[in-house]
C-alpha cells in the first residue's frame, strides 16, 4: 500500500498529516530512504533541514535517492522566492506545515493516487463491447467473478443504463457510482475504495456502476475524468472488467480500448447485429492493428447457423473468435434469482467458455464437469477394448 515517508523527527507533523488523510494512509518518520520500498510520497520537513544547508541542495539530494517517488516540501515559509526554489529543485508541490488539513489532503492525496498508478503496477483491464447491453453485462459479470475466483482483488465497472444489469445479476444494492468515485479521486486510495465500493460478499468482487443506484445518467462527467479514474482503479485491483454498456463517446472508448489488455466484442449470429457492431468499431476509430487484436465472442452460438464465427470475425476484421453457447432459460433464471452462473457448481457449456475466455483452467470447473470428463475417460478406455473384442470374434 502507498504511504507517506516523512523526513523529520516531528511526531506532531506526522500526526497532522495522518489526520488530514483520514487515517487511511500510513505515515512513517524516517531519517533516510535507504530501506524505502514500494510506491509512496516523500515529504521533507523544512524544519529538519539544518539552517546552514541550502534548501535546493537538500531537495536535490532527496530526489536522487527517491527512486522516482514524488517529493513534497512541508514548510512554514510560504514566501514566493523559497517556494520557487523548492519547485525548481524538483519538488512536486509544497504544503504548509500548520495549514488547513483539507489543503494538505488535496495535495498529498493527488500525488498518492499518481504514485499508485505509476509505480504500484496496473491490474489487467478487460473491456467488453457490444450492442446487446444486457448480454454484455451478464458476460462481463461472469468474467469478473471468474477472475475474483482466482483469489485476486477484482473490480467490475458496469456502464449499463438506466440501471446496472450487473447489480441485478449479483443481487447487490449499489449507492456508489462513477460520479462519486471521480469526486473522490484526489483522496481515493485502495483502502478507501475497498471500504466504499459495493462488494459482493460470496465472491469478494467489487462493483462500480454508471448510475450509482440513482437510475439516471450522472451529469457533468467528462471523458477525461472517466479515463483517469479507470487508470487509477487499475492500481487498486488485480483484474478490472469494464462493460462499456451505454458508453458511446468515441474518444473515451478509443482511449480505454488502447489501455485494455484485452478487448472482447460480444455479437450474436445476426447480420443486423454484425452491422451494428461494425458501426461501433468505426465509432471507436481504432487502428487496424488494434481491431485485429480484439477477440469476438459469439453470443448464443448455434452450430447450425450458417453465419459462423469465422465469417463473423472476417466481416468485423478481428483476429480471433470464441463461441459462447447460452442456455437462455437457465441464464434468465440466474438473472431473476440474483445468482450468477459463475457461482454455480456446474455452469455448463456457457461457463466453460467463459473460463476459457478468462484463461482459467477448465479443470477448475464444477462437479458435473468433472463427472463428464471422468465418463469420457472411461468410455475412451473402453472403446479400444470393445473394438479388439469385435475383431477377435
Query: Are both 240 and 352 inside the same structural domain?
Result: yes
d(CA 379, CA 374): 9
Residue in the block written with cell 478507501: 192
d(CA 386, CA 327): 35
For the CA atoms of 151, 153, 154, 155, what is the dihedral angle to 10 degrees? Answer: 160
Query: Are both 276 and 345 inside the same structural domain?
Result: yes
Query: Are both 157 and 186 inside the same structural domain?
Result: yes
- Of 101, 98, 114, 42, the residue nearest 73 (C-alpha): 42
pLDDT at 371: 42
Count CB atoms within 10 A of the CB of residue 178.
Answer: 21
Final residue before a domain boundary, out of 119, 146, 172: 119
Domain boundaries, position 76: 3-119
Residue 30 burial by Cβ neighbours in a 10 Å radius (0-12, 13-18, 19+) = middle
Query: Are both 32 and 93 inside the same structural domain?
Result: yes
Q: Mapping DSSP to helix (H, G, I), strand (E, B) and coil, where does residue 292 land?
A: helix
Query: Does residue 389 fall inside a structural domain?
Result: no
Query: Does residue 187 fall inside a structural domain?
Result: yes
Query: Does residue 377 fall inside a structural domain?
Result: no
Query: Are both 102 and 162 inside the same structural domain?
Result: no
Query: Are both 159 and 226 inside the same structural domain?
Result: yes
Q: Which residues pair with 5 in a beta bridge?
A: 28, 42
Taking 70 as the pLDDT cut, the residues of the chain under it are 1-2, 35-39, 113-122, 361-393
Backbone phi, psi, residue 219, to 5°: -95, 150
- Of 129, 120, 181, 187, the residue nearest 155 (C-alpha): 181
**pTM as predicted:** 0.65
- Quick one: CA dihedral 312, 314, 317, 323, positive or negative? positive
What angle separates helix 223-234 from helix 250-259, to the nearest 10 degrees? Answer: 20
Query: Are both 223 and 302 inside the same structural domain?
Result: yes
pLDDT tens figures, 170-203:
999 998 888 888 888 877 777 788 888 999 999 9
Q: Mapping DSSP to helix (H, G, I), strand (E, B) and coil, where does residue 72 land?
A: strand
Query: Are both 139 and 28 inside the same structural domain?
Result: no
pLDDT at 369: 45
d(CA 187, CA 12): 21
Query: Does residue 380 fall inside a structural domain?
Result: no
Backbone phi, psi, residue 353, to 5°: -70, -40
pLDDT at 368: 38
Final residue before a domain boundary, out of 119, 140, 163: 119
pLDDT at 345: 78
CATH of the domain at 322: 3.40.50.300
All 3 cell numbers of residue 167?
447489480
Final residue before a domain boundary, out of 119, 146, 165: 119
CATH of the domain at 82: 3.40.50.2300
Residue 97 near residue 104 (C-beta atoms within 8 A): no
Query: Are both 114 and 131 inside the same structural domain?
Result: no
Query: Are both 241 and 265 inside the same structural domain?
Result: yes
Query: Are both 115 and 163 inside the same structural domain?
Result: no
Query: Are both 168 and 279 inside the same structural domain?
Result: yes
Count CB atoms within 10 A of the CB of residue 376.
Answer: 10
The total of structural domains in the chain comes to 2
Element (H, E) at 148: helix 133-148
Amino acid at each position: 500500500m502507498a504511504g507517506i515517508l516523512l523526513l523529520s523527527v516531528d511526531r506532531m507533523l506526522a500526526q497532522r498529516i495522518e489526520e488530514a488523510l483520514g487515517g487511511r494512509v500510513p505515515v512513517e518518520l524516517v531519517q533516510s530512504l535507504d530501506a524505502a520500498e514500494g510506491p509512496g510520497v516523500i515529504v521533507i520537513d523544512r524544519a529538519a533541514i539544518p539552517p546552514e544547508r541550502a534548501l535546493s541542495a537538500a531537495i536535490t539530494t532527496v530526489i536522487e535517492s527517491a527512486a522516482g517517488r514524488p517529493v513534497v516540501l512541508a514548510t512554514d515559509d510560504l514566501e514566493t522566492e523559497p517556494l520557487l526554489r523548492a519547485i525548481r529543485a524538483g519538488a512536486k508541490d509544497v504544503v504548509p506545515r500548520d495549514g488547513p488539513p483539507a489543503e494538505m489532503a488535496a495535495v498529498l492525496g493527488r500525488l498518492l493516487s499518481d504514485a499508485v498508478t505509476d509505480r504500484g503496477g496496473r491490474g489487467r483491464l478487460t473491456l467488453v463491447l457490444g450492442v446487446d447491453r444486457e448480454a454484455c453485462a451478464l458476460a462481463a459479470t461472469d468474467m469478473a467473478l471468474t477472475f475474483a475466483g482466482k483469489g485476486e482483488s477484482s473490480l467490475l465497472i458496469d456502464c449499463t443504463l438506466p440501471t446496472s444489469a450487473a447489480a441485478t445479476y449479483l443481487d447487490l444494492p449499489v449507492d456508489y457510482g462513477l460520479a462519486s468515485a471521480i469526486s473522490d479521486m484526489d483522496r481515493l486510495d485502495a483502502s478507501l475504495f475497498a471500504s466504499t465500493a459495493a462488494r459482493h460478499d460470496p465472491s469478494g468482487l467489487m462493483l462500480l456502476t454508471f448510475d450509482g443506484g440513482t437510475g439516471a445518467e450522472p451529469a457533468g462527467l467528462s471523458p477525461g475524468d472517466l479515463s483517469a479514474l479507470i487508470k487509477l482503479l487499475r492500481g487498486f485491483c488485480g483484474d478490472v472488467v469494464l462493460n462499456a454498456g451505454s458508453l458511446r463517446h468515441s474518444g473515451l472508448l478509443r482511449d480505454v480500448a488502447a489501455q485494455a489488455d484485452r478487448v472482447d466484442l460480444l455479437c450474436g449470429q445476426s447480420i443486423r447485429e454484425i452491422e451494428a457492431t461494425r458501426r461501433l468499431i468505426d465509432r471507436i476509430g481504432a487502428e487496424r492493428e488494434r481491431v485485429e487484436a480484439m477477440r469476438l465472442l459469439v453470443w448464443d452460438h448455434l452450430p447450425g447457423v450458417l453465419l459462423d464465427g469465422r465469417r463473423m470475425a472476417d466481416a468485423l476484421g478481428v483476429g480471433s473468435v470464441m463461441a459462447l453457447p447460452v442456455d437462455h432459460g437457465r441464464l434468465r433464471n440466474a438473472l431473476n434469482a440474483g445468482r450468477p452462473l459463475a457461482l454455480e457448481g456446474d455452469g455448463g457449456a456457457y461457463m466453460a467458455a467463459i473460463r476459457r475466455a478468462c484463461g482459467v483452467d477448465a479443470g477448475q470447473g464444477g462437479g458435473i464437469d468433472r463427472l463428464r470428463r471422468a465418463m469420457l475417460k472411461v468410455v475412451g478406455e473402453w472403446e479400444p477394448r470393445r473394438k479388439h473384442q469385435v475383431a477377435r470374434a
